[in-house]
Amino acid sequence: MAVKATTRVPAVPQKRRLSKMRVREEISGMLWTSPWWAGFLAFSLYPTIIGLYYSFTNSRWVGGGAWVGLQNYVVAITQDARFWPAIGKTLYYAGVTVPLTLAASLFAASILNQKLKGENFFRTIFYIPSLMPEIALVVMWGWILNPDFGLLNYVIKDLTGLKGPGWLLSAKWAMPALFMMVVWGSFGGVGMLIFLSSLQSVPQELYEACDLDGGSPLQKFLNITVPSISPAIFFNLILGIIGALNSFLLMFLAPEPPGGPNFATYTLGFHMYQQGFVEGRMAYANAMAWLLFLIIFAIILVNWKISGRWVFMASMQDEG
């Protein structure tokens, strides 16, 4: 009786099958994210590289221009009479608005964290101002801050009998007026949602233990709440610094004239716009943009270095 020979198919090693699946998953993932990558390369990375190149030329618009090396940077630092005052205005604007928006966002999140009735309603009300376009924000606050018939000056006169300031038309009050606009427009936005999520993750046992020890609400806030949500504070701080130092549209739309009376709100972002799009010195504007990048990078690096002193990362340390 003849025995039929059987041919065995060699089994594919498990690791090889897993590696092929991993490759297919990687390719699939790249294909699904390719629109984002295309947009990033075309509208972020490429303009950044081209802008850096043009900052070393004397090009007045896009294209052309001779190579001048560091001349634009030297002119900005040593010869431009508006550069350092604009830097000062930018740092002043960021130094006031960032702490105010952080405090306002944390205050709004703390209110919503109290589990009050109608929480969803108040969450919507708080979030609506952050959805308002800056142009609409300027129009609304332009009416509120109008020195002749504005709502705010009307309230001031009704309560005190004194005439209110000129706000956006005054060199003294233009910047404080922007502070009010920025805080109102951002206190209930993404920062509030991040704080609210962090507050809801704080263990209630810590508050109960503090109550048993006779701790006051202030002690609970300083010793429990702030350390527990310190990573969220740091994250919102970095985003706030980047956003504030890059501010331009409010300085362009709100004050009269743009940039403020007597250059009261003339920040570096507005100066770059003036040099690049009004005077046509696009290469010089690119150089100032990179100087602003270096300033932002230095400030963030300093904050990153000192964050270990106050940012409580116990959960990350436990995972490690």
Answer whether residue 115 is part of any domain: yes
Q: Which domain holds residue 122?
A: 71-312
* 66 in any annotated domain: no
What mean pLDDT comes out for the span 302-313? 89
DSSP 279: S
Residues with Cβ within 8 Å of residue 52, at least 6 apart in sequence: 286, 290
Q: Retrieve residue 308's tokens.
A: 């270990």
Confidence of residue 129 (pLDDT cuts 50, 70, 90): confident
Give the whole-number percent of the chain exceeding pLDDT 90.
54
* 263 confidence band (pLDDT: 50, 70, 90): very high
Q: Is the pLDDT score of 3 beyond 80?
A: no
Please give the pLDDT value at position 127.
86
* CA atoms in the 13 A half-sphere facing the CB of 204: 3
Q: What is the pLDDT of residues 131-163, one digit of tens each?
A: 888 889 999 999 999 998 899 999 999 999 888
320 domain-assigned: no
151 assigned to some structural domain: yes
Domain assignment present for residue 58? The answer is no
Residue 182 lies in a domain: yes
Separation CA 285–CA 69 (nearest Å): 15
For residue 282, give the CATH number of its domain: 1.10.3720.10
Rounded to an integer, the average pLDDT of 243-260 is: 90
**Count of domains in the chain?**
1
Region 293-316: what's the mean pLDDT? 86
Looking at residue 26, its pLDDT comes to 81
Amino acid at 32: W
pLDDT at 314 over 60: no
Is 210 contained in some domain?
A: yes
* Confidence (pTM): 0.86
Q: What is the mean pLDDT of the chain?
A: 87
Task: Give the model confidence (pLDDT) of 180-194 as tens digits.
Answer: 999 998 888 899 999
Tell me, what's the pLDDT at 316? Answer: 41
Q: At what angle do helices 282-306 and 71-78 cross, to 10 degrees?
A: 70
Q: What is the CA radius of gyration of the chain?
A: 27
Q: What is the pLDDT of residues 18-55, one digit of tens each?
A: 577 788 888 888 888 888 889 989 988 998 999 899 99
